[in-house]
Structures are given as structure tokens and as C-alpha cells.
Amino acid sequence: MANDIYTPRRISRTRHLDVRNLPIQLREWEGDGPPLLLLHGFLDASSTFQFLVDAMAQNRWIIAPDWRGHGGSGWAPQGYWLHDYLADLDTIVETVSPDQPIDIVGHSLGGNLVTVYAGIRPHRVRRLVSIDGFAMRDTSAQEAPARIGKWLDSLKELPKERVYANVAEMADRLMAANRRLPRDKALFLAQSLARPVNGDVAFAFDPKHRRPFPTLHRIDEWAACWEKVEAPALWIAAGDRFEKAPREGHGNFDWRLKHLRHGRGVDIPDTGHNIHHDAPQALARLIEAFFAE
């Protein structure tokens, strides 16, 4: 049926944790053993990991937070800074695994953050997986005036929010962005990400995330953190992206991977950026095999 919605195999529950004076929603899939932490990407939420969780062979205890300003977590009145996510992650890790290093999987923004965090707090991470999160584009000092100017301009009014008539329309938007996403999964994602707005619905993130960052992204700073990572690391690239990525030179996949002493990379063919939606079974096999080594 066109309007059939995906039915989860494993059911999650949510609770809130006070993290640096902001309520952060934690989604948990109850299971066995030490916790596995899943970190979602920018403008996503913890529920987007459902297909990956369902594809895992092991019934592991899994915890996935919604980043501040995302999903069911609180919004920050003053906006969002990359280092705030790292500080939130540090608090969450200390709370859910205070005595033992933890396994962490991150997608996109979540992957970028865990690779940096593992270099800053190497004793906190046992093994890590980054799903198509290879740091952002390197920026130069010459870009600073324009970037800061755009940020100042953006503060004059709230970013406009795109609204949809209903969840089905949101699902259409998700399918247009990802040609591999089937209708039942698109409906599940749309329903889990929908936030009511004056009779319509919008994706559940703070519109202030649409503002540009005034700070520069310096790849050398990220690389310095990667070099401090002691945990085994697996970078999983989208097949589409991997085929097009430059293979030599500063800042590309190979260059970045060399900075992880215990890291290796692999790609999953016929996948886009949301690998956990496009090939959850293949991704789950890679992740579980890596954590079992």
C-alpha cells in the first residue's frame, strides 16, 4: 500500500537528561551488554537510526541522543556552536558509561564529532565508527570577513522555516532528496521527525541551525585531534561519494585517514550520504564485525 509505514523490529523509549542546563533527549533500545552510542547527523534525530538498529544481529543496548536543537531536545536561545556539541557529548559519555570506554558510531556530523572527541578524550572511547563523516571543507583565513559578515546579517531576523501540510508531504520531500528511500521508510522518518507548527508540520530542528557559522573550519586542527585517537577507528564512505572523491592531496579521504593511527576506511557500493537508510544490513554487518574484533 502507498501509505503503509515501516514497522520497527525493536522498540525504543525516550527520556531526558539535563546536559549543561539544557534538556537532551536520549533514545534507548534496551538490550544486553555495555552500551553502544549512536550520534546522528546535522538536522536529523536519533530516530533516523531505527533501520540500522533493526538490522543488527545482536540485541545490544543502544543509546542515541538528539543533539541540542534537534528532535526532542531543547533549543539553545543563543544559537549553536560546534564546541557545544562536543561538550554535550562529553557529559553524555560520562553519564552513560562513567567507568568504561564506550563504543560510538556517528553519522555525518556525529561522525565528525566522535573522531575529534576520541582524540580529545582518548580514554573514553573503546572503538569508533564514522559513517560518511570526514570533516568539513577546509577554509582559509581570507574567508573570515565574508563569513562573519553573513553571520552578523543572519542575526537580524530568524531564519525562515519550511512547513508542510502533513507528514505525507514531508515523506515526499525525503524521497525527493534520496532516490533510494522507499515510501514506507520515508513515512516512518517523516512521522518521527515531524513537529507541529500552526496546523502544519516542520522538521524537528531549531531554525537557527540555518544560520551560517562565523568560525572557520581548519582541517589541520581536526587532523591534530585525529592523531591523538588511540581507539581503533572505521570510516565508512558512501559509494556515490567515494567514487567521486579525489584520492590525492591535502584534505581528501586518503590524507585524512592517514592521521588515524589505528584507522581504516571502506565504502559501501550503491549508497548515498545516508548509508544507514540505503543499506542498513550491509552497514550493520560491518559495524558489528568491527566491534567484535
Residue 32 lies inside a defined structural domain of this protein: yes
Rounded CA-CA distance 22/71 in Å is: 13
Q: What is the CATH number of the domain that holds 126?
A: 3.40.50.1820
**Is residue 187 a part of any domain in this protein?**
no
Would you say residue 257 lies in a domain? Answer: yes
For the chain, 293 residues long, the average pLDDT of each consecutive 10-residue run is 86 98 98 96 98 98 99 95 96 97 98 97 98 82 90 88 96 97 98 96 96 86 95 93 57 81 93 96 98 96
pLDDT score recorded for residue 244? 60
Asked whether residue 219 is domain-assigned, the answer is yes
Determine the Cα–Cα distance for residues 203 and 163; give it in Å rounded to an integer: 8
Residues 6+ apart with CB under 8 A from 69: 75, 76, 80, 205, 206, 208, 209
Residue 196 lies in a domain: no
Whole-model pTM: value is 0.94
Q: Domain range holding 135?
A: 13-161+205-292
Grid cell at residue 67: 543533539
Q: Evaluate whether residue 227 is within a structural domain.
A: yes
pLDDT for the residue numbered 256:
84
If one counts the domains in the chain, the total is: 1
Q: Is residue 143 part of a domain?
A: yes
Does residue 7 fall inside a structural domain?
A: no
